[in-house]
């Protein structure tokens, strides 16, 4: 009789435990979600909710693909035109590049060296002279409008005369000389205390240069922003 009572008691406790656990296990996801949080099925979170939304997404993808195809065709056409120009004007391009080499490596020829020298003072301006800060800044910025050295100005005109000025290699070579002149002026300007106006004009002068270094531009821009 004692063992029967213990068994009944145990069965009763187990029954109470099972009955109290069943409602919790049978609850939905929303029943166990934290307060203020609405549970959503993964399918409803990723898939469009209507046919109209599916159509809209499909149109966007088609428009993006069409834009990519158009861009590829334009690049192909540009490359085809460049190949035709290079093939037709091979000798003119060779002569132009040879003349550029003479400006890059003038040797002992001082006249050719002067033609390819970067735009700016031929020697550092004496910061201890009678020039004030404003006068020094004006003297440096006076070179800024023309970033191409004298010899490269002639080379740019020569490229336009033979019809090769649009070639990427020609444009890149000229732009490299512009960037070299810009960095030369920048170094001269930083030798003395540059004004905020001078820094702003210097940064504006580098806009559009393919060879411009983003790190240098961002550094000077941050200096200008702190100075304002």
| Residue corresponding to tokens 């690049």 | 75
Rounded-to-integer distance, Cα 180 and Cα 210, Å: 12
Token pair, residue 49, equals: 């909710």
Rounded-to-integer distance, Cα 204 and Cα 136, Å: 19
- Residue 157: pLDDT band (50, 70, 90) is very high
Burial of 131 (C-beta count, 10 Å sphere; 0-12/13-18/19+):
middle
* pLDDT number for residue 13: 44
* Cα angle value 63/79/97 (rounded, 5°): 145
Chain centre distance of CA 19: 66
- Residue 146: pLDDT band (50, 70, 90) is confident
Token pair, residue 76, equals: 């192909």
Q: Which run of H or of E encompasses 96?
A: helix 90-104
105 DSSP assignment: -
pLDDT in tens, 74-122: 888 877 777 777 778 888 889 998 988 888 888 888 888 888 888 888 7
Interval 61-70 mean pLDDT: 90
* pLDDT number for residue 175: 92
CB-based contacts of 153: which residues, under 8 Å, 6+ apart?
146
- Tell me the pTM: 0.61
């Amino acid at each position: 009789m004692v063992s029967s009572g213990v068994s009944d008691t145990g069965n009763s406790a187990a029954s109470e435990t099972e009955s109290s656990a069943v409602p919790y296990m049978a609850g939905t996801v929303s029943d166990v979600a934290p307060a203020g949080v609405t549970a959503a099925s993964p399918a409803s979170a990723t898939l469009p909710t209507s046919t109209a939304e599916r159509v809209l997404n499909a149109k966007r993808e088609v428009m993006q693909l069409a834009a990519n195809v158009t861009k590829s065709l334009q690049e192909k056409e540009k490359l085809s035109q460049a190949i035709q120009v290079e093939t037709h004007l091979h000798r003119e391009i060779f002569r132009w590049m040879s003349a550029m080499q003479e400006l890059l490596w003038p040797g002992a020829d001082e006249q050719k060296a002067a033609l390819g020298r970067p735009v700016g003072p031929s020697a550092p301006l004496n910061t201890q002279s009678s020039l004030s800060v404003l006068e020094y800044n004006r003297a440096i910025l006076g070179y800024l409008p023309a970033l191409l050295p004298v010899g490269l100005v002639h080379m740019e005109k020569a490229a336009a005369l033979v019809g090769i000025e649009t070639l990427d290699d020609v444009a890149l070579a000229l732009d490299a000389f512009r960037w070299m002149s810009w960095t030369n002026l920048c170094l001269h300007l930083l030798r003395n205390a540059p004004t905020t106006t001078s820094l702003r004009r210097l940064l504006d002068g580098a806009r559009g240069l393919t060879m411009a270094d983003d790190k240098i531009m961002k550094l000077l821009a941050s200096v200008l922003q702190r100075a304002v």
